Amino acid sequence: MLNTEHKKRIAILGSTGSIGTQALEVIEANPESFELEVLTANHNAKLLIAQALAYKPNAVVIANDALYDEVFDALDPHDIKVYAGANALNSIVEMETVDLVLTAMVGYAGLQPTIRAINAGKSIALANKETLVVAGELITKLAREKGVNIYPVDSEHSAIFQCLAGEFHNPIEKIILTASGGPFRGKDKAFLETVTKAQALKHPNWTMGAKITIDSASLMNKGLEVIEAKWLFNLRQDQIEVVVHPQSIIHSLVQFEDGSMKAQMGLPDMKLPIQYAMAYPDRLKSAFPRFDFRNFSQLTFEQPDLETFRNLQLAYDVLAKGGNAPCVLNAANEIAVAAFLNDELGFLQMPDLIESCLAKVAYIAHPSLEDYVQTDAETRRLAEELKVKY
């Protein structure tokens, strides 16, 4: 149980997704600590309705307006408020009765609601890494100004955050983000030329939404995480290393200035970092499966292959370049992944498309929020146009 006077009141943006549904399991297992205020979804009205009937939030938002009637008819008789559209998503996070917003939406769509939630002074449990990739400088500056804490949900960043507990005044020498390597670890370009989405969607260690699963297979996910780590922990690029650790037991490591390294370990289960972000600074008792050394005789480590998996190198490049370059990378990648899932683009053409967009979209060294919005829109237009040429 939390060491607070009242329960934490939670809004889950993206409750119908992989992180969202696991967050609901965490809330259900800890009714004395958490109270659900808001659920949101995009297309999956049926699941949103089922969740709302089961968990009785104060309000729900269906981002896709066309589904409003269906959701309203099902929930209005139960005194659950129903709203629709992207604007409603932006406003709902400001609700007075919300203490913490879990951003579990996928992609750039998470940016505006996250900004609105920070402006309203809400704590953020951040799963939506694309937000920090696109506008990390702006978001972290705003959070500092508003005195808002951003708690990482990504397992690697949660690991770093857990390693830093009690160490916040000690400078970090470097961090090491672990990567499973995904389903194509050790494969060469000739193999990747012909891989299908069915193969790419089979992650060896984690069950996640489609976009992040493809990002994991292409190592773009690790690239996005490198950028996310820069902003969450205020690091230079040369302080962020990636190591492939196929067993996904060590979730990441911090090395301090005396050379000591701390690692956070456990079986791969997103419920743990979700719960830690929601309960921080407390740790809640859980029934999650425990790691046992006797079942793992070897934990192994390899260098990532940046030549074959070019997305990770591209992410390092845009991080060095700064400005709106990470925003271009993110938007081009969202289009590339959607095209790959739609059989319009091959696996190796994804980095090609991203690289073309990076070469063509005008560079802005110090972007405003409006610049990010325009960069995102322009990159998406360009990527849609270019993808048909591959």
Give 201 or 235: the residue with its C-beta nearer to ligand NDP. 201
Structure token digits, residue 222: 């690790």
Residue 56 makes CB contacts below 8 A (sequence gap 6+) with 36, 78, 80
CB of 63: closest distance to ligand NDP in angstroms?
4
Rounded Cα distance between 277 and 262, Å, is: 19
CB of 5: closest distance to ligand NDP in angstroms?
30
Q: What is the DSSP letter of 362?
A: P
Tell me how far CA of residue 272 lies from CA of 210, 283, 307, in angstroms: 21, 10, 33
CB of 330: closest distance to ligand NDP in angstroms?
10
CB of 129: closest distance to ligand NDP in angstroms?
5
Give 247 or 356: the residue with its C-beta nearer to ligand NDP. 247
Give 33 or 128: the residue with its C-beta nearer to ligand NDP. 128
CB of 7: closest distance to ligand NDP in angstroms?
23
CB of 179: closest distance to ligand NDP in angstroms?
13
Give 14 or 304: the residue with its C-beta nearer to ligand NDP. 14
Rounded Cα distance between 9 and 34, Å, is: 6
Give 51 or 375: the residue with its C-beta nearer to ligand NDP. 51
Contact 78, 101 (CB under 8 A): no
Structure token digits, residue 330: 């993110």
CB of 208: closest distance to ligand NDP in angstroms?
3
Which amino acid type is present at position 89?
Answer: L
For the chain, strand residue ranges (E) read: 8-13, 34-41, 59-62, 81-84, 100-103, 123-126, 150-152, 172-179, 240-244, 250-256, 261-265
Give 100 or 193: the residue with its C-beta nearer to ligand NDP. 100
Contact 158, 251 (CB under 8 A): yes
Contact 378, 327 (CB under 8 A): no
Q: Which residues of 338-349 are buried (b: 16+ CB within 10 A; e: fewer)?
A: bbbbeeebbbbb
Rounded Cα distance between 101 and 8, Å, is: 10
SS3 36: strand
Q: Which residues pair with 84 in a beta bridge?
A: 62
Task: Give the dihedral sign, CA 208/209/211/214.
Answer: positive
Give 43 or 189: the residue with its C-beta nearer to ligand NDP. 43
Give 69 or 145: the residue with its C-beta nearer to ligand NDP. 69
CB of 191: closest distance to ligand NDP in angstroms?
25
Which residues contact ligand NDP by CB under 6 A? Answer: 14-20, 41-44, 63, 104-106, 109, 127-130, 154, 206, 208-212, 270
CB of 61: closest distance to ligand NDP in angstroms?
8
Give 19 or 358: the residue with its C-beta nearer to ligand NDP. 19
- Neighbouring C-beta atoms of residue 89, cutoff 10 Å: 24
What are the phi and psi torsion angles at 104 (to 5°)?
A: -115, 25
